[in-house]
Amino acid sequence: METEGGLYENMFWMHGIQVNAKNPAIQYYGGTVLYKSTDNGKHFTALYSYGTGLHHEPHPDIRSFCISHSTPDGEGDELYLATDGGISFCSQGGHKIVNISGLNLPITEFHGVGVSPFRSVISAGAQDNSIMSYIPDENRWITDIKGDGYDVEYSETIPGLAYGQYNAYQLSATHNDVAPFMKNTGISHRPRTLNKRSLYTHPNGTVYVTNFDLEILFPGQKNGM
């Protein structure tokens, strides 16, 4: 991605510009990904694509970054990135990137969590990491990244049934306790709906979804009201 005369990324996600200490024409911009300019900011090029943060590709959405070593031509510059998903080290002017979070630094921001009353399975919604589930009997996590994940609630009457919300506004469900939550409940976007809504499952099976409006999904009903 190259930008003529500047950056056309959504500018609310701007986390600073860092300038090479030995060559001010070389600049780095932290947005959803890391950009680099070699002509005083006239043109910027993305150094990697917006992805899932796997295989040492930095997690999307830079929160902070710094240049730790500058070189005159910028090809030996070294940087550290702090993102929604951890910490990355960039060398060779940002062209070689390594995830340095390690196994002992699990980074994510949780919005909601629910526990199955039948199997003790745990599911949680996290920023940028969707809804993930932990199966205690198997000591393993199930991850299925689809963007952001939000609140999760398990049914108290039907084994395996759980409700959760991704950043597509609609309320989704699963019938086997764990992610991914792929069944459409019929509750979707309303004019004033925010991504994050609070969920509550009543012992009688009724599901309440709250934000600016209250939506109710009665047992056996295919669409909320």
Torsion of the alpha carbons at 40, 42, 47 and 52, rounded to the nearest 10:
120
Question: Is residue 212 domain-shared with residue 116, that is, in the same domain?
Answer: yes
Q: Is the pLDDT of residue 23 over 90?
A: yes
Question: Is residue 129 domain-shared with residue 204, that is, in the same domain?
Answer: yes
| Mean pLDDT across 120-126 | 90
* Residue 157 located in a structural domain: yes
- Distance, CA of 158 to chain centre: 30
Could you give the CA distance from residue 166 to residue 181 in angstroms, rounded to a whole number? 9
Domain encompassing residue 116 = 110-217
Contacts 24+ apart (CB under 8 A), 11-14: 13/61
Q: Is the pLDDT of residue 144 over 60?
A: yes
DSSP state of 57: P
Could you give the CA distance from residue 142 to residue 178 in angstroms, rounded to a whole number? 7
* Residue 67 located in a structural domain: yes
Question: Is residue 156 domain-shared with residue 88, that is, in the same domain?
Answer: no
* Residue 6 located in a structural domain: yes
- Give the pLDDT of residue 105: 55
Residues 6+ apart with CB under 8 A from 8: none
DSSP state of 168: T
* Residue 105 located in a structural domain: no
> Quick one: what percent of the chain has pLDDT higher than 90?
42
Domain boundary among 76, 99, 122: 99
pLDDT in tens, 207-220: 998 877 788 999 87
Residue 177 three-state SS: coil
Contact 161, 173 (CB under 8 A): yes
Burial of 83: CB neighbours in 10 Å, binned 0-12, 13-18, 19+:
buried
Question: Is residue 93 domain-shared with residue 120, that is, in the same domain?
Answer: no
The first and second tokens of residue 53, run together, are 């943060």
> Quick one: what percent of the chain has pLDDT higher than 70?
84
- Helix then strand then coil, % of the chain, to nearest 5: 0, 40, 60
Question: Is residue 187 domain-shared with residue 207, that is, in the same domain?
Answer: yes
Backbone angles phi, psi at 94, to 5 degrees: 95, 5
Domain boundary among 42, 73, 99: 99
The first and second tokens of residue 154, run together, are 């398990």
pLDDT in tens, 37-59: 999 988 999 999 887 666 678 88
pLDDT in tens, 167-205: 867 889 999 999 999 999 988 766 666 666 788 999 899
The DSSP result for 58-94, as a single string, is: PPSSEEEEEEEE--TTSTT-EEEEEETTEEEEEEGGG
- Give the pLDDT of residue 223: 57
Question: Is residue 114 domain-shared with residue 212, that is, in the same domain?
Answer: yes
Its pTM stands at 0.63
* Residue 224 located in a structural domain: no
Domain boundary among 59, 75, 99: 99
Domain with 150 in it: what CATH number?
2.130.10.10
* Residue 134 located in a structural domain: yes
How many domains, in total, are found in the chain?
A: 2
Measuring CA to CA, which residue among 100, 41, 34, 45 is closest to residue 67? 34
- Give the pLDDT of residue 131: 92
pLDDT in tens, 52-85: 666 678 888 888 898 999 999 999 999 999 887 7
- Give the pLDDT of residue 2: 47
144: left (phi over 0), alpha (psi -120 to 50) or beta: beta
